[in-house]
Structure 1
């Protein structure tokens, strides 16, 4: 068997050499592919950590254009191909991913048929760490949570997969005041998206799976045209989630996407994330003078994986932190109730990169965790571990692919030390009971967070009187359920937006696949068609024809 990185390079070559997408869409020079592959194959020789985000990525040449930029549609192809190929290596070999990723993978060849729709390349937007918009004004700490500190039209248009301008009515970025894990004032950014023919009385807060310890991975940056980061795959993970909230836009709902990890990218500091979500909604309600959102809209939450953590904590904190908000429900997919079991579940596998990014994310928020890292890492491995500070989710996956995280530490019990246990327990789900209805959908074969943890979480909620519809899916795994389970999420939120009564109490069902329901198949088709519509610059919104 080839090494993980060699295998990835072979996969990338296979995808790129067979994808007319690159020739027709990317504007990539003839040697661009081989150049990027060479960078990837030699990446391990770079033993020096990047100490300055500004120096390493904003000094990218003329027009602030990244030096190592690859067309993100190809990045999406590589990532999906990677997931398919590595299914047999890093999971139980039942072929789930290759079967269920097929619908979205099929979108990519269609893109190449419409090159005329794509815009010329734009200048890359300034990274968040270099953009003064992200710096709060002096004295902002005295303002109330949810206060708008400043707002603007995004520097670059919102884009599908980073390259195709999305045809919506308007987009706004808001810097707003929120709170960190200790209750201190911080500021973060949300992106409000307004479709054509918008229904301003319906607001969806969609939390993407940012899952990174680098502030430059923020959704407010990732969703812009020509946003680029860490080589081949870049920001493909948050960008592909347009598949889901794009369908919401096409129904006329206003969508707000918060940078829920805060200004320091505090991945897994979930109390902070929950508060950031709720304050992002408060800011959206205060934005009516420039967004036209009504004063009392119907509000729903949605997120998958890391996005479900932010959404779930928002649901748990809602009764005490922001009880005035009219939130009618939350759809939580790929839930991750506890942090500690994830470390063992992903170690040596495809998603082991979540461990350094997650631990560093906690260190960005908790000094005790930073001290734990400082004391617990082998000196010879410190530089490699610290690379996560300059990587987004897909970059973390590539950097640490298949490795044993304990090869980095002096003590294999490092994550069981009191400081680690205290922080991980403080950021576990189930400490409060949501008062709003929940949809929870979860893969029985989830290889990141064991399904029994979600079973226990739902039982905790139900025993305390919550209303939960719990759907377990047998055919999927974590990555594939984000796509196939999104149909259930969209349909459930549609019912909440349309004021359909919720059955009180709890229901639990296990199906081979949620796509056995014809309504779910239609909903998934709607999502894919909306993505294609976005790529082809068709107007997004109900009742509009491009």
Structure 2
């Protein structure tokens, strides 16, 4: 059975949505601008993002401070205003930490439906934080496209919360922590807007944004059971990075992800990289340590895992510290979602979309189905990872619109092919 999706009309639809909404907003934008914005200090240097007081006894999702913001790009304003909130959340190891979310209300009032939109900011530098880009402090092609999608949700009447789910230390690809930050961002938005806990919530994200979406759905039943999550839509998922690393090894387009993962794991798990990185590995890791994925992904065309390490190692998957970190972030191992889910992935060649592994996403969908989760799997045939973003976004909007309306799903759990095993890699 084919699970492919025709993409031409979807591609046209989302482009029209983004261009039309943004054009209309920019045409009517007022000259005034709120702070923060262009010229503001980076989040790493902005006191708003830090919290020195004790977090003992502070509940997850509690708002610690807030300030107004204007939804804008570095060069253009919109009439949309919102707020940034600093809130308490939880890191990968259960410790209390803080991060920031951007809360945006629709221009047209109506029944509140809250969407937690997770941008694929894939960041090692704080200039990439969604709160900073949505305020016009920085942008890149991915951020601009996703800002247009967020504008589409606002135009459709949704209230949107956008968390900086990587946290203060920019801990990219770290699963449970990202999920906690997303769920606590919802809690913070509900508290800030004085919304009841019964407010319906949807989670959505593509690529890096699929991490807080998927892990948020997984950990919600035990971490945030009070939230009324009606659906989650995740696309382009990095299910098991032990499988992704060999796929992008030596890639012209994605090899820069390899040193970026080392940096993220060093920050999170305090890896002693001196024991395994080669001289070149140390250099490229340092080079990417304050960049966004748009800067580092294709920066090191041809770089391999073997280039990153010194003897006796032949690649990063020989390093016990790295394997343990990867195993700690395999999707599907942190809980069973209680909400309905859309899982989607591009399928460009026999393995995947040039970055993500099709069989891994099928394996995750099949595993969830076996646990009774209502899953709709969509495969975007013929599309690379970047190309699949365009059809995914209207699929996700349609899926969440139906979940908010209480419509029946189109689950295909009963007809999924067998996917890849997601068993942890043996530690060397």
TM-score in terms of structure 1 length: 0.67
How far does residue 213 in structure 1 lie from its aligned partner after superposition?
A: 2.0
Task: Give the one of 130, 134, 147 matched to 2:49.
Answer: 134
- State yes or no: 1:250 paired with 2:155: yes
Aligned equivalents of 1:116, 1:202: Cα separation in 2? 27
* Maintained 8 Å contact 1:213/1:364: no
Aligned equivalents of 2:7, 2:110: Cα separation in 1? 36
How far does residue 153 in structure 1 lie from its aligned partner after superposition?
A: 0.8
Secondary structure (helix, strand or coil) at the match of 2:314 reads coil
Secondary structure (helix, strand or coil) at the match of 2:369 reads helix
Partner residue of 1:361? 264
Partner residue of 2:61? 146
- State yes or no: 1:376 paired with 2:276: yes
Partner residue of 1:338? 240
* Maintained 8 Å contact 1:210/1:307: yes
Task: Give the one of 305, 320, 331 matched to 2:207.
Answer: 305
Partner residue of 2:129? 218
- State yes or no: 1:165 paired with 2:70: no
Partner residue of 2:413? 506
The Cα offsets for residues 219-253 of structure 1, whole Å up to 9 and x where unpaired, read as 1111112x23xxxxx53322321232221111111
Aligned equivalents of 1:328, 1:112: Cα separation in 2? 31
Secondary structure (helix, strand or coil) at the match of 2:82 reads strand
Aligned equivalents of 1:364, 1:115: Cα separation in 2? 39
Task: Give the one of 345, 350, 361 matched to 1:442.
Answer: 345
The Cα offsets for residues 62-97 of structure 1, whole Å up to 9 and x where unpaired, read as xxxxxxxxxxxxxxxxxxxxxxxxxxxxxxxxxx99
- Could you say which structure has the higher helix fraction? 1
Aligned equivalents of 2:354, 2:288: Cα separation in 1? 21
* Maintained 8 Å contact 1:315/1:435: yes
Partner residue of 2:119? 208
Task: Give the one of 157, 181, 200 matched to 1:276.
Answer: 181
Q: 1:508 to 1:220 in 2, by over 3 A?
A: farther
How far does residue 332 in structure 1 lie from its aligned partner after superposition?
A: 0.8
Aligned equivalents of 1:116, 1:125: Cα separation in 2? 24
Q: 1:131 to 1:475 in 2, by over 3 A?
A: same
Higher deviation after alignment, 485-494 or 501-510: 501-510
* Maintained 8 Å contact 2:61/2:88: yes
Partner residue of 1:391? 291
Aligned equivalents of 2:97, 2:38: Cα separation in 1? 29
Secondary structure (helix, strand or coil) at the match of 1:328 reads strand
Secondary structure (helix, strand or coil) at the match of 1:472 reads strand
Q: Which runs of 5+ in 2 are unaligned?
A: 1-5, 418-428
Aligned equivalents of 1:473, 1:508: Cα separation in 2? 17
How far does residue 404 in structure 1 lie from its aligned partner after superposition?
A: 2.8
How far does residue 112 in structure 1 lie from its aligned partner after superposition?
A: 10
Q: 1:117 to 1:509 in 2, by over 3 A?
A: farther
- State yes or no: 1:317 paired with 2:222: no
Partner residue of 1:529? none
Aligned equivalents of 1:499, 1:345: Cα separation in 2? 39
- Equivalent pairs, count: 399
Partner residue of 2:380? 473
Aligned equivalents of 2:198, 2:408: Cα separation in 1? 19
Secondary structure (helix, strand or coil) at the match of 2:354 reads coil
Q: 1:487 to 1:115 in 2, by over 3 A?
A: closer
Look at both structures and tell me which one has the larger radius of gyration over its CA atoms.
1
Q: 1:201 to 1:476 in 2, by over 3 A?
A: same
* Maintained 8 Å contact 1:212/1:358: no
* Maintained 8 Å contact 2:25/2:78: no
- State yes or no: 1:457 paired with 2:368: no
How far does residue 327 in structure 1 lie from its aligned partner after superposition?
A: 0.2
What's the Cα RMSD here? 3.0
How far does residue 99 in structure 1 lie from its aligned partner after superposition?
A: 12
